[in-house]
Structure formats: structure tokens, C-alpha cells
Amino acid sequence: MEDQWRIAQYDPTWAQLFQELAIRLRASLKETAHRIDHIGSTSIVGMDAKPIIDIQISVRDFGEESKYKRQIEDLGFELRIENPDKTKKYFRELPGSRRTHIHVRQSGSFAEQMTLLFRDYLRSHKDDCVQYAQEKHRLMALFKTERPKYVEGKGPIVWEIISRAHIWSQEVGWKPGNTDV
């Protein structure tokens, strides 16, 4: 398995990897998944990223884990119950599989909407993409062996970008587009 704890140059196969898994998720989850979206840096054409596919599944009834947990696990993922973020259910690949993060969130929630806004804003603001990628490279060089510090270190730039995205959303009347799958 390739080392995925690194920042890689954009790879167009990331979109294909998302699409292949998302189609399987849609077939398994059916109407339970209101949306299935490619999120994170691998979803932004041209952006350097950790080569880890992030998928957000938006469900109408987040509290009803029985409506989606087994279906996702049957595709080779496991629920990480130690996840401290209570706005999502976090699934990871089984050992030996390609690194993939699945985030299940409540449809219409702040966390779901903010994630989509952040992605959409970066897709249309290349200067912010460059700045964000540069900061990720800098942090990876500093904290290659300290993942929590790398993640924590991204906080300031992420909130700067979210602030600009919020203003942009009001200027353009942003709303989430159609689901990716």
C-alpha cells in the first residue's frame, strides 16, 4: 500500500476512485443517502492533497445508525466509535485496503453545509487553493510523524478560508448543488 500520509500532487484518478466507491454506496444505501459527495482536497481539481478519498454521505435520519451502518460496513469499512466529532459518524477502510474516509452527517446540518461550502468555494478560488496547499506542505514538513499536530495546524487557514467562503456565499447566493452521485 502506498504511503498516504503525505501531500501528493493532484491526481485525476482521485475523481474516478470516488465515483467507483460512491456508485457502490448509492446502490447499497439507496434512498437512505440523501447526498453522496466527494469532499476534501482530493475533490478539488489541481489541488495537492493527501491521497485519501473523503466521502460525505448525508442522511435524513442521522440518529438511526441501523439505516446505514451495516450497508457501509458490508462494503469494507468499519465505524470508528472513538471519533470525538459528534456531528458525524466516521468510517474507515479495513486494514490493508486503500485509505478512504467516509463521513456520515445529518442532511441540512451546519457541519454538512460547511463542508460543501468549503469545497465549492475552493473549487472556484484558485488563489486560496494555492495558499491552502502551501500551508499543508509546510505543516507536513513540520509534523510528518505527528498527525494530530498537522491536523491542528490546519485550523487557522481553514477558518480564514471559511470566513471568505461565508462572504462569497452571501454574494453569490450559494446553495449546495446536486449530489455527486
Contacts by residues 130-134 (CB-CB < 8 Å, ≥ 24 positions apart): 131/157, 132/41, 132/47, 132/157, 132/158, 132/161, 133/7, 133/41, 133/47, 133/48, 133/49
Q: Which of 100, 72, 120, 82 is nearest to 14 (CA)?
A: 100
pLDDT digits (tens, 9 = 90+) for 111-127: 999 999 999 999 999 99
pLDDT digits (tens, 9 = 90+) for 82-107: 999 999 999 999 999 999 999 999 99
pLDDT digits (tens, 9 = 90+) for 155-176: 999 999 999 999 999 999 999 9
Per-residue pLDDT at 129: 97
Average pLDDT over residues 62-72: 97
What are 53's strand-pairing partners?
A: 100
Per-residue pLDDT at 2: 54
Q: What percent of the chain has pLDDT over 90?
A: 97
* Coil, strand or helix at 37: strand
Q: In what order do the strands lie in the sheet with 33-39?
A: 33-39, 53-59, 100-106, 88-93, 77-79
Task: Decide if pLDDT at 131 tops 50.
Answer: yes
Which DSSP helix (H) or strand (E) runs through 92? strand 88-93
Assigned CATH for 13-172: 3.30.460.10
pLDDT category of residue 1 using cuts at 50, 70 and 90: very low
pTM, two decimals, is 0.95
Task: Decide if pLDDT at 35 tops 90.
Answer: yes
Average pLDDT over residues 38-43: 98
Contacts of 131 (CB under 8 A, 6+ apart): 157
Q: What is the mean pLDDT of the chain?
A: 96
Name the residue ranges covered by the structural domains of the chain: 13-172
Per-residue pLDDT at 4: 79
pLDDT category of residue 5 using cuts at 50, 70 and 90: confident
Average pLDDT over residues 19-28: 98
